[in-house]
Amino acid sequence: MDKKYMLFDLDGTLTDPQEGITNSVAYALEQYGIHMEDRSSLNKFIGPPLKDSFMEYYGFTEDRAEEAVWKYREYFNEDGIFENKVYPGIPQMLQHLKDQGKILIVATSKPTVYAKRILERFELSQYFADVQGSEMDGRRTKKEEVISYALEQNQITDNAQAVMIGDREHDIIGAKKCGLDSIGVLFGYGSREEMEGCGAGQIVDTVQMLEDLLSR
């Protein structure tokens, strides 16, 4: 795994956003008369683009799904954004990789403005050369679009020198579409079956295993 550029997903890979995301989704659904007592049933919203998830899991039309995303943001922007925590070992791993001369980049489906606020709040910004995500108006929400944009913005032309690290199939599929190797992590919200099914290049169980692999 001798890569110069390392693209990291945010939710479920660097931080555990379960509380904030599920509370925000529950808040949005409540506006449509859908009451969710069991927040864990909303874990499926962690990772994929929100609009797609509202359409897939609740049968919302495209217009209603877009509206639901804005309802979600009403809660997320004030409270949910920081109902989050960094996975143990992540800062140490990032420092180690940076010390080795690796170029670290965040590539997330979350709006860039939110991703930057989260990284700054949890003191992770210092490790990353760049942060790229979606736009608030709905542009660049598909993972392959985010990855492609991150490669372009960082003038990475040799894709063999880059790897995408994430916890859901969208990260792995997006990497494939952009010609990148991928690593699936199991300490987030994707299962081994999901990672194997979408063809992750390698799969790791823990942050330490990820650090060992990336440091080789």
Residue 131 has pLDDT above 80, yes or no: yes
Q: What tens digit of pLDDT does each residue of 8-25 get?
A: 999 999 999 999 999 999
Average pLDDT along the chain: 96
Same domain, residue pair 93 and 187: yes
**Residue 137 is encoded by which pair of tokens?**
């108006």
Per-residue pLDDT averaged across 189-203, rounded? 97
Q: Which of 82, 109, 126 is a domain's end point?
A: 82
- Residues whose CB is less than 8 angstroms from the CB of residue 126 and which lie 6 or more positions away in sequence, other chains included: none
Residue 1 has pLDDT above 80, yes or no: no
Same domain, residue pair 45 and 110: no
Residue 179 has pLDDT above 90, yes or no: yes
Q: Which of 82, 112, 135 is a domain's end point?
A: 82
Query: Active-site positions?
Result: 9
The strand pairing partners of 105, in sequence order, are: 7, 130
Q: What tens digit of pLDDT does each residue of 132-168 get?
A: 999 998 899 899 999 999 999 999 999 999 999 999 9
CA 111 to CA 137: how far, in whole Å?
Answer: 9
Q: What is the count of structural domains for the chain? A: 2
Per-residue pLDDT, 48: 86
Same domain, residue pair 92 and 194: yes
Q: What tens digit of pLDDT does each residue of 42-93 get?
A: 999 998 889 999 999 999 999 999 999 999 999 999 999 999 999 999 999 9
Residue 121 has pLDDT above 90, yes or no: yes
CATH code of residue 166: 3.40.50.1000
Identify the band that residue 39 occupies on the pLDDT scale cut at 50, 70 and 90: very high
H helices of 10-168, in order, are 18-30, 50-58, 62-76, 90-99, 112-121, 143-153
Same domain, residue pair 125 and 205: yes
Q: Which of 39, 57, 82 is a domain's end point?
A: 82
Residue 6 has pLDDT above 90, yes or no: yes
Domain that holds residue 44: 18-82
CA 131 to CA 158: how far, in whole Å?
Answer: 19
CA 212 to CA 209: how far, in whole Å?
Answer: 5
Same domain, residue pair 165 and 126: yes
**Residue 53 is encoded by which pair of tokens?**
């998830």
Per-residue pLDDT, 126: 98
The strand pairing partners of 61, in sequence order, are: none
